[in-house]
Structure 1
Amino acid sequence: MTMTPDSIRRRLLLGAALAAPALRTGRAQANGEVIVRTPGGAYDDVMRRVVYDPFTAETGIRVTPVAATGAKLIAMVRANNVELDLIDTGDAQLLTLERLGALAPIAYDRWRWTKPEDITREVRLTHRVGNFTYASVLAYNTETFPGDAHPNSWADFWDAGKFPGPRMLADIASASVNFEFALLADGVPKDQLYPIDVDRALRVMARIRPSIRRFWDTGALAAQMLSDKEVVAGSIWNGRLQTLIDRNAPLGYTWNQHMIQVQALGVFKDARNVEGAQKLADFMLQPRMQAQYAKALIYGATNERAFDLLTPAEVARMPGGENSRRLGFYQDIAWWHENRDRVSRAWSRWLLR
């Protein structure tokens, strides 16, 4: 039996639809559906409660979240068979899709729930818009380094004599190597990190390598190494770390010299429901929505008005605010996109030395 594109689409999405029941009112059926790529898991639970169900109640458009890898998204484009409408993923993956010509411009001029000028300038781009930020921070064990006697900069992290103990840093398999932190440790100002001097970064990495227990490739591994005290200091994503701290793990971190990273939204230009996807992006980014899911997920808001709806204690746990931008820096994903293959080859050779 020959399957039509619509039958294929229904079969692919059946499992996701059953796992995340939609509001199937008459109004929702009439106004359609937005299929959104998401990270899945607890993220979907929060977004269903905070964003998707209220969006359906407001517009009649139901939302079906579907997990998909970056490779799957690219395969859809190359096969000319786009099965999704809105993409909620890392900014780097969206940049790849943008350069393939797969994304529609964000319809800022038609927004009615969110004011475009309230979105942080660095993440308000033509074909993608940040919906939250996270950060790579310098974490440490508070039993090993009690009180103020802890590393407070990447230069401190590289000083294994003053701050002894096994360490960890990110591997290329995590998305990118921590070359930015190596250059900061070597005295490069944060506004001069890019373009990255790869040879210099590798020379600096060589100085700390004897103290590196492992280069981590997943957030789960980084969290486990800190939690098990396999390492006493290292880079880690702030959300993973905060979860451990909230469970009373003896861990701390500094916002000094943290690297801000972005999760963003993009709309497939060949999506079946471009208009609905644009509406969902607009709805998701309004201050009250962002404040709720940023708080629940320990991410940073990209709508600067959202911070006004959070307590100082809640803001202190999040990247992306005014203080965060002063102490940290945004990762240059365009540089990484253009240089990833070269870095990967150089990194692999360096590891074998």
Structure 2
Amino acid sequence: MSAIKGISRRSVLKGASAAAAGLAMPMVWTGNRAFGAERITVSDVGGAVGDAIKQAFYLPFEQETGIQVVGVAHDPDPVTQFKLLVDAKSYIWDVAMVTQDHVVRLTTPDNYLEPLNVPAEEAADLLPGMLTDDWMGFSVFGIVMAYRTDTMSEHPPTGWRDYWDSAAFPGRRGLYKSPWGVLEMALIADGVSPKALYPLDVDRAFAKLDEIRPDVAVWWGSGAQNTQTLQNGEVDLSDTWTSRASTAIASGAPVKIVWDGLYSVDGWSIPAGTPRADLAREFVRFCMRPEQQAIYASLSKNGPSNTRAFEHISPEHAAVMPTAKENFQRLGELDSAWWGENYDAMAERFQEWLLLG
């Protein structure tokens, strides 16, 4: 079973502020292009993040090893898909992008993950908690708010209390069609400190959601949709994942991030039993390299897990990532263990709430 541990605030800030003593040396690579006829399929979250992953990991890995990487997008919550492909032994994925709470659900009560078999010495530069037996975290992201400056510049929201105050802050609102992160935002809006959220007071959170429900214009279901609604002005303010809001900003949309919320981490896991597990492990190890993580972080605006990646990231790019000190100090840690144990029950209750009111 996976030993999931929280990623501490101190460890992430330490990585983000690591001083560059010189250019990072690449990890020793023992593979060769003898695998040239081989291919692996990697599932990720798609959209702009998927494009960043392709540029930082898929294409360079294929160029170096000859192993073709086919990238496919999966659902925002890929756990059911993951379990089905392992149970059916139809390995349409060899690696999947998952969060720590996904890992809990994929290892309890039954294990669906292959061990990564990464030697400890290769993980020396990773932040504490970013590598377990069956998961390697590489992308620190924020669960925050964003708003359109063209419609809300005179009286902009500064936190989740303002999001819930539709009288003082009128505008079309977007909200994620999932309890994950949304229950926490409701409690923060109700005055709960991000450091005192868990275990979640679920009844209190749903009562708070009752208040804002009539003002939600768009219930978004994917990161790509979230970006699109911010870009085209379908909403004036919305909850968001930092890379999705950054994509809207990069496109020229008048969007600003409000650093009030939580942080979590995306990483790689391998489906148990895939016949291409060894190739998948080589890919995961490749993604630990600081220079590759720096490319991904600079493109996606998510923070890296390898502390030496910051040696390759410009100060301007580092400043807009969740791991920047001034941003990170306003983010609490999403409790992956709590969500791993409670996601199914919360998802069922949330869907009933959406349908029945």
TM-score range, shorter chain: 0.7 to 0.9
Matched residue, 2:298: 295
After superposition, the C-alpha distances for 1:245-280 in whole angstroms (9 at most, x for unaligned) are 22322221222x232232211133423243332232
Alpha-carbon distance in structure 1 between the residues aligned to 2:54 and 2:226: 28
Instruction: Give the unaligned 5+ runs of structure 2.
Output: 1-31
Report % sequence identity: 29
Shift of 1:36: 3.1
Superposition pairs of residues 205-220 of structure 1, within 5 angstroms: 205-220=209-224
> Of the candidates 107, 126, 129, which is equivalent to residue 117 of structure 2?
107
> Of the candidates 203, 221, 225, which is equivalent to residue 225 of structure 2?
221
Change (3 A) 1:272 1:154: same
Change (3 A) 1:342 1:312: same
Whether contact under 8 Å (1:119, 1:304) holds in the other structure is yes
Matched residue, 2:68: 63
After superposition, the C-alpha distances for 1:36-79 in whole angstroms (9 at most, x for unaligned) are 33445666655454334443555x45133242643443122212
Whether contact under 8 Å (1:61, 1:276) holds in the other structure is no
> Of the candidates 261, 273, 276, which is equivalent to residue 279 of structure 2?
276
Matched residue, 2:161: 155
After superposition, the C-alpha distances for 1:288-313 in whole angstroms (9 at most, x for unaligned) are 11001221233321222212321221
Superposition pairs of residues 112-151 of structure 1, within 5 angstroms: 112=122, 116-146=123-153, 149-151=155-157
Alpha-carbon distance in structure 2 between the residues aligned to 1:143 and 1:344: 34
Query: How well do the aligned residues superpose, as a CA RMSD in angstroms?
Result: 2.9
Matched residue, 2:308: 305
Alpha-carbon distance in structure 1 between the residues aligned to 2:40 and 2:208: 47
Q: Secondary structure at the match of 1:335?
A: helix
Instruction: Give the unaligned 5+ runs of structure 1.
Output: 1-24
Shift of 1:154: 0.9
> Does residue 1:27 correspond to 2:34, yes or no?
yes
Whether contact under 8 Å (1:104, 1:127) holds in the other structure is yes
Alpha-carbon distance in structure 2 between the residues aligned to 1:54 and 1:213: 41
Shift of 1:339: 2.0
Shift of 1:332: 2.3
Please, what TM-score do these two structures have when normalized by structure 2? 0.78
Change (3 A) 1:54 1:234: closer
Alpha-carbon distance in structure 2 between the residues aligned to 1:40 and 1:178: 21
Alpha-carbon distance in structure 2 between the residues aligned to 1:37 and 1:264: 11
Matched residue, 1:331: 334
Whether contact under 8 Å (2:86, 2:272) holds in the other structure is no
Shift of 1:231: 2.7
Whether contact under 8 Å (2:146, 2:239) holds in the other structure is yes
More relative contact order, 1 or 2 (CA 8 Å, 6+ apart): 2
Change (3 A) 1:64 1:231: closer
- Counting matched residue pairs gives 320
Whether contact under 8 Å (1:260, 1:320) holds in the other structure is no
Whether contact under 8 Å (1:111, 1:279) holds in the other structure is no
